[in-house]
């Protein structure tokens, strides 16, 4: 397969095997051989088939499979769901198990709905419960600790049912975006709640540990608070739990209470997801979808994902048992937006919606047919008896495929996998394939790309570039103009037929986003990862309408994001990052002539370090560091840390935020000091700042939110207000339920 420079960068950073010094030991062919040989488990013919499948560019499994297959870890699943029962033993057992999963490279989902509410009596201690939110913070801190240990970042999903007594506190628990940074949160919505909402009635809050009704709330008040918070910063999302359990294939095994971090994979407790995606852009031949190629790709992909289950090493024995009892796989897609470009179909059109449902029906049907054939050869999944398949209950039936006959065949022969389809985020694997993510529209047609030495280049979507060249209007100046504008919809120099097809996220109304999600959900076993994008000007009423529409159209959950709604965002407009926002960027306050402070001594691997923290009338304002007799590079780096910390303090950045960034940074010479490990000089500065913060009541300065005046906001192109990637500094986008970087492959999830 021919790889782009961007794909090679991502592969070298995240996927190719490296030695202890970080030297890359693989190329693309080596990676594909390693993965295909491992999953085939010595079957030479099957290994050749899998090599062709992966190297074709038509299918890739989830990232852990590409990273870990054939390596010592051999943990091939991306995400897990763990139970949290109402006892200290269960809570901290789950904390421990989550740490093991994060260490192995997985993400975790939890329902905190079984925990008794805050201030509820605890008989065993004669005390009161601290409630789910407090324990949520414990899980968040544990994730930080694992992350600081140098392993892959752990991501989490927290779900609380809407009938939990602490639901109002949960809805607002991420109002401060510096809190619970390792969690996505979603409210578990019930049918009872939605009925009360439509009837403008109250609904009941139930005490989890007793089942007693302790209070009633007006459903519309709760719904309004969810909408208000989502409008403010994109969270919480909503999960429609009753609908998810309506399609639970093994209700006799348990009730589904949570999902993975991005929401597309509802799982029973101790289950893991095993995912992969087909590149739809590779299915187009001579301007039409090649359904024969698609059928072959689906069948091979099902075989591959089914074998991944048997080759996986899970971090817990209970997970191994649950996964192999249900054998769920989740075959999804990527390249949907590029497919529409190739077929000249607008994303926001009935034609696209019809194609989405019929295409996904074909994939779902073909995957189940192949799974049924595997069951004939290898046996049905062990928990088949009592499942929805035993009574041929295939709930999705349409006109052009014989679902009735397939249902009968499955009830007679069994099916190898309890689920076969999921539409998951495809962030980095779609970058390897040089195609669009999942079912999302393109975020931009032309965008700024960071390269080595801080240079910035314009990246142009290849299908868009080809269309412009065929029309005879392609030029570098036009590309820069498009990048600055963020959309081509108002550019009359571009033919209308091109403008109609080449739309981006913010050209598409939320209603079309939801219709697209619902079209794919109709033929997807699990759920669909999708972000409903709104412009900055969207109102809470717009978001309320979207939530209602998602429920009414059959979605299993919904995540919204209003552009620019997160704090600490910067502009990335056109071919360079603007140095100001019309004069609204904050500047550090001036240092007074006299300051007062304290000096702390901390032992580090480089020697004794002395850290002085001074304050002015507004709180901490500067940091000075000095360390033994060390000079040269180490001394210069320490001075840089002190200067940048001082700049942050005088710019009203929270002390806690600075501490979080510096904590846990490791050097080759860690040192114990006063009963705690100092992992580096930077970590020592963080611990000194933490001590200062605990001593000073006025230490934790607030970061004032940067407000853009309404008159100025209108001048900023839609879709261009976003954060920067912490790895490479490129613009990050919010899609598929998470923030990600299209330049280097970094993702928050």
Task: List active site positions.
Answer: 260, 262, 264
- Quote the tokens at residue 364: 């779902």
Closest by alpha carbon to 239, among 12, 45, 527, 448?
A: 527
Cα gap 217→200, rounded to integer Å? 11
CA angle 651, 657, 661 (to 5 degrees): 110
- Please check whether residue 433 is in contact with residue 279, taking contact to mean a CB–CB distance below 8 angstroms: yes
Distance between alpha carbon 414 and the CA centroid of its chain, in Å?
A: 34
CA dihedral 218, 219, 222, 226 (to 10 degrees): -160
**Contact between 436 and 426 (Cβ < 8 Å):** no
* Phi and psi at residue 470, to the nearest 5°: -65, -30
Buried b or exposed e, range 218-238, using 16+ CB within 10 angstroms? ebbebbebbbebbbbbbbbbb
DSSP at 164:
S
Which residue bears the tokens 């360079």? 576
Give the separation between CA 516 and CA 348, rounded to whole angstroms. 8
* Tokens found for residue 594: 């006299």
CA atoms within 13 A on the CB side of 495: 12
Q: In this structure, what token pair is assigned to residue 349?
A: 């059109």
CA–CA gap between residue 191 and residue 244 (Å, rounded) = 11
Beta 121-122 vs 156-161: how paired, if at all? unpaired
Phi-psi group of 674: left, alpha or beta (phi > 0 → left; psi -120 to 50 → alpha; rest → beta): left
CB 80 within 8 A of CB 267: yes
Task: Tokens for 126, please give them.
Answer: 């004669």
Return the bridge partners of 612, or none: 599, 624
Q: How far apart are CA 501 and CA 340, in angstroms?
A: 8
Q: What are phi and psi of 528, to 5 degrees?
A: -125, 125
Q: Is 156:261 a contact under the CB 8 Å cutoff?
A: yes
> Kind and range of the H or E element at 733?
strand 732-735
> For residue 525, what are its two tokens?
């076993």
Beta strands in 290-337 (DSSP E): 330-334
Query: What SS3 state is found at 722?
Result: strand
Q: Using CA atoms, how far apart are residues 506 and 733, in angstroms rounded to an integer? A: 12
């Amino acid at each position: 397969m021919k790889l782009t420079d961007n794909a090679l960068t991502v592969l070298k950073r995240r996927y190719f095997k490296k030695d202890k010094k970080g030297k890359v030991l693989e190329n693309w062919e080596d990676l594909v051989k390693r993965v295909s040989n491992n999953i085939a488990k010595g079957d030479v013919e099957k290994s050749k088939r899998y090599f062709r499948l992966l190297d074709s560019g038509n299918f890739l499994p989830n990232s852990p499979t590409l990273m870990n297959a054939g390596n010592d870890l051999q943990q091939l699943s991306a995400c897990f769901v763990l139970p949290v029962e109402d006892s200290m033993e269960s809570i901290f057992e789950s904390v421990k198990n989550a740490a093991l999963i994060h260490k192995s490279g997985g993400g975790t989902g939890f329902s905190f709905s079984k925990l008794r509410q805050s201030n509820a009596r605890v008989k065993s201690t004669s005390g009161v419960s601290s409630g789910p939110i407090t324990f949520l913070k414990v899980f968040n801190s544990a994730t930080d600790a694992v992350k600081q240990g140098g392993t892959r970042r752990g991501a989490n999903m927290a779900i609380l049912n809407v009938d939990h007594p602490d639901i109002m506190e949960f809805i607002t628990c991420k109002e401060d975006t510096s809190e619970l940074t390792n969690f996505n949160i979603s409210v578990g919505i019930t049918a009872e709640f939605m009925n009360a909402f439509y009837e403008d009635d109250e609904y009941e809050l139930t005490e989890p540990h007793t089942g007693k009704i302790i209070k009633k709330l007006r459903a519309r008040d709760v719904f309004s608070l969810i909408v208000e918070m989502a409008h403010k910063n994109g969270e919480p999302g909503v999960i429609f739990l009753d609908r998810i359990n309506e399609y639970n294939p093994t209700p006799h095994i348990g009730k589904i209470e949570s999902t993975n971090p991005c929401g597309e994979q509802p799982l029973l407790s101790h289950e893991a997801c095993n995912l992969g995606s087909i590149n739809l852009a590779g299915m187009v031949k001579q301007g039409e979808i090649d359904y024969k190629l698609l059928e072959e790709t689906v069948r091979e992909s099902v075989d591959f994902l089914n074998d991944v289950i048997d080759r996986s090493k899970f971090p817990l024995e209970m997970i191994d048992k649950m996964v192999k009892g249900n054998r769920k796989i989740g075959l999804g897609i990527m390249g949907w937006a590029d497919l529409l470009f190739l077929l000249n179909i607008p994303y926001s059109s009935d034609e696209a919606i019809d194609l989405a449902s019929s295409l996904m029906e074909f994939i779902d049907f073909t995957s189940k047919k192949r799974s049924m054939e595997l069951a004939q050869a290898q046996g049905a999944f062990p928990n088949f008896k009592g499942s929805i398949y035993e009574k041929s209950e295939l709930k999705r039936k349409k006109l052009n495929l014989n679902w009735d006959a397939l249902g009968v065949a499955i009830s007679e022969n069994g099916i190898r996998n309890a689920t076969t389809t999921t539409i998951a985020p495809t962030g980095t694997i779609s970058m390897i394939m040089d195609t669009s993510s999942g079912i999302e529209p393109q975020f931009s047609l032309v965008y700024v790309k960071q390269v080595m030495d801080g240079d910035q280049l314009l990246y142009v979507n290849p299908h868009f570039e080809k269309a412009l060249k065929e029309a005879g209007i392609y030029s570098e100046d036009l590309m820069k103009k498009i990048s600055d504008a963020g959309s081509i919809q108002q550019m009359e120099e571009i033919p209308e037929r091109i403008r109609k097809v080449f739309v981006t996220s913010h050209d598409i109304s939320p209603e079309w986003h939801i219709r697209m999600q619902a079209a794919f959900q109709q033929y997807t076993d699990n759920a669909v990862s999708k972000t409903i994008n709104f412009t900055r000007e969207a109102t809470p009423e717009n978001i309320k309408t979207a939530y209602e529409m998602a429920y009414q159209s059959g979605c299993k959950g919904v995540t919204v994001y209003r552009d620019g709604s997160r704090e600490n965002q910067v502009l990335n407009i056109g071919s360079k990052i603007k140095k100001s926002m019309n004069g609204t960027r904050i500047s550090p306050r001036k240092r007074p002539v006299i300051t007062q402070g304290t000096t702390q001594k901390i032992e580090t691997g480089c020697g004794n370090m002395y850290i002085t923290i001074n304050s002015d009338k507004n709180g901490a304002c500067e940091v000075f560091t000095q360390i033994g007799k060390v000079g040269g590079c180490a001394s210069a780096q320490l001075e840089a840390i002190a200067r940048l910390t001082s700049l942050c303090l005088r710019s009203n950045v929270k002390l806690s935020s600075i501490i979080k960034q510096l904590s846990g940074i490791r050097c080759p010479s860690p040192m114990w000091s006063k009963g705690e490990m100092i992992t580096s000089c930077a970590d020592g500065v963080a611990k000194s700042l933490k001590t200062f913060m605990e001593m000073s009541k006025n230490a934790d300065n607030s970061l004032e939110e940067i407000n853009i005046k309404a008159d100025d906001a209108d001048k900023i192109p839609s879709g261009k207000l976003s954060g920067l990637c912490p790895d490479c500094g490129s613009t990050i986008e919010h899609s598929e339920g998470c923030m990600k970087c299209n330049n280097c492959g970094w993702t928050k999830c």
